[in-house]
A and B are shown apart, each in its own frame.
Chain A
Amino acid sequence: MDVAYNPFSLEGKTILVTGASSGIGKATAIECSRMGAKVVITGRNEERLNETFNSLEGDGHIQILADLSNEDDIQHLVNEIPVLNGCVNNAGYNIMSVIQFIKKDNLDHIMNVNLTAPIMLTHLLVKSKKIAKDSSIVFTSSISARGRNSVGNSMYSATKGGLSSFMKNAALELAAKRIRCNAVLPGMVETPLKEGKSNITEEQWEINRQLYPLKRFGKPEEIAYGIIYLLSDASAWVTGTELVIDGGMTR
């Protein structure tokens, strides 16, 4: 047996992870570094980004502070980074609101962060030739993009539905450049994004956990492992897919 055999290795790859200061992004950055990648991490909060940076294994990693809701910051990020072999468009957040109380400001902002930013980042990476041939772009979507909806979640669902649709079209167009595009669709994961929903009581969360066939929410690293598969050469013939990771919720 060859102990070094690992088709999921990210050795020799440079991978950008957005939203790397917490949750799925943080776990993804750390796991990518453990799989041998040189990781470029970005986020808005300097302190938390630094915390992720210090948790990365190996050398040669880069951190760049950026607010991806700001177009200039995206351009600056693209200017600063080396040529990538992988990009994880992970930054995202949620504002819960029932439909009759939706506010235009909130809608604009969530659309900007969850949908416009990954589209513009993909655009600029391709335009600036900062993404190499045979590379992989992964989008963190959600099972809410697949009609697994819950009350108060309509704006978030709309952004993730849009993101999944964009990914599929990008997979078609960028195949000509041999750039693959895929998405992971997590169910509810124990992350700060969940903790931000203080209008949900712990009892309601527990009822929700029990709706999952595996009787719990996901862990950030369980999503990261799916992202690693899509970044690695193990998925070299996979593009335009949505990888559902949800404890059996959508079946």
Chain B
Amino acid sequence: MKSLDEFVELFAEQFDETDASEITATTVFHDLEEWSSLIGLSVIAMVDEEFDVALKGDDVKNSVTVEDLYNNVKSKL
């Protein structure tokens, strides 16, 4: 299982305009200016590839911080 720090890094990689330094475990990611449904789909695909976990759209919607999402992924392993 990848660590939270590694997850945050992979999460941040899905953004093009937002600098990785702006994204931490406690970031409320829906509030990020660049956040979009396309990035949401990219995050779901990243989780599928890196963790072999199939997230639903609702899992992303209901997570507030990046850490919430990490914990959600962990709970599905």
Interface residues of A (CB under 8 A from B): 96-98, 100-101, 151-152, 198-204
The answer to whether B49 and A98 have CB atoms under 8 Å apart is no
The answer to whether B46 and A151 have CB atoms under 8 Å apart is no
B55 neighbours in A (Cβ, 8 Å) = 199
The answer to whether A152 and B41 have CB atoms under 8 Å apart is yes
Interface residues on chain B, number (Cβ under 8 Å): 17
Q: How far is the CA of A238 from the CA of B48 in the complex (A)?
A: 45
**Which one, A151, A201, A202, A203, contacts B38 given CB within 8 A?**
A151
Q: How far is the CA of A223 from the CA of B75 in the complex (A)?
A: 41
For chain B residues 40-74, which have a beta carbon within 8 Å of chain A?
A: 40-42, 44-46, 48-49, 54-58, 60-61
A219 to chain B, nearest CB (A): 23
Q: How far is the CA of A69 from the CA of B60 in the complex (A)?
A: 33
Task: Evaluate whether A100 and B42 lie within 8 angstroms (CB atoms) in the complex, with A151-B37, A204-B37 already known.
Answer: yes
Q: How far is the CA of A100 from the CA of B60 in the complex (A)?
A: 19
Considering residues B54, B55, B58, which has the most beta carbons from chain A within 10 angstroms of its beta carbon? B58
The answer to whether B45 and A97 have CB atoms under 8 Å apart is yes
Residue of B nearest to A103 (CB): B49
Q: How far is the CA of A202 from the CA of B58 in the complex (A)?
A: 8
Q: How far is the CA of A204 from the CA of B40 in the complex (A)?
A: 12
Known A203-B61, A204-B57; 6 more pairs at CB < 8 Å: A100-B45, A101-B45, A151-B37, A151-B41, A198-B54, A201-B58
A1 to chain B, nearest CB (A): 52
B56 neighbours in A (Cβ, 8 Å) = 198-199, 201
The answer to whether A101 and B49 have CB atoms under 8 Å apart is yes
Contact with A along B12-44 (1 / 0, CB 8 A): 000000000000000000000000011011101
- List 12 A–B pairs whose Cβ atoms lie within 8 Å, in order of A's numbering: A98-B45, A101-B48, A151-B38, A151-B41, A152-B41, A198-B56, A199-B55, A201-B56, A201-B58, A201-B61, A202-B58, A204-B37
A204 neighbours in B (Cβ, 8 Å) = 37, 57
A-B complex: 3 closest residue pairs judged by Cβ atoms: A101-B45, A201-B57, A151-B38
The answer to whether A101 and B46 have CB atoms under 8 Å apart is yes
A199 neighbours in B (Cβ, 8 Å) = 40-41, 44, 55-57
B49 neighbours in A (Cβ, 8 Å) = 101
Q: How far is the CA of A101 from the CA of B48 in the complex (A)?
A: 9
Q: How far is the CA of A100 from the CA of B15 in the complex (A)?
A: 12
The answer to whether A98 and B41 have CB atoms under 8 Å apart is yes
Q: How far is the CA of A193 from the CA of B46 in the complex (A)?
A: 22
Residue of B nearest to A198 (CB): B56
Q: How far is the CA of A100 from the CA of B14 in the complex (A)?
A: 10
The answer to whether B37 and A96 have CB atoms under 8 Å apart is no
A152 neighbours in B (Cβ, 8 Å) = 38, 41
Q: How far is the CA of A62 from the CA of B63 in the complex (A)?
A: 49
The answer to whether A96 and B42 have CB atoms under 8 Å apart is no
B41 neighbours in A (Cβ, 8 Å) = 96, 98, 151-152, 199
B37 to chain A, nearest CB (A): 6
**Which one, A97, A100, A151, A200, contacts B57 given CB within 8 A?**
A200
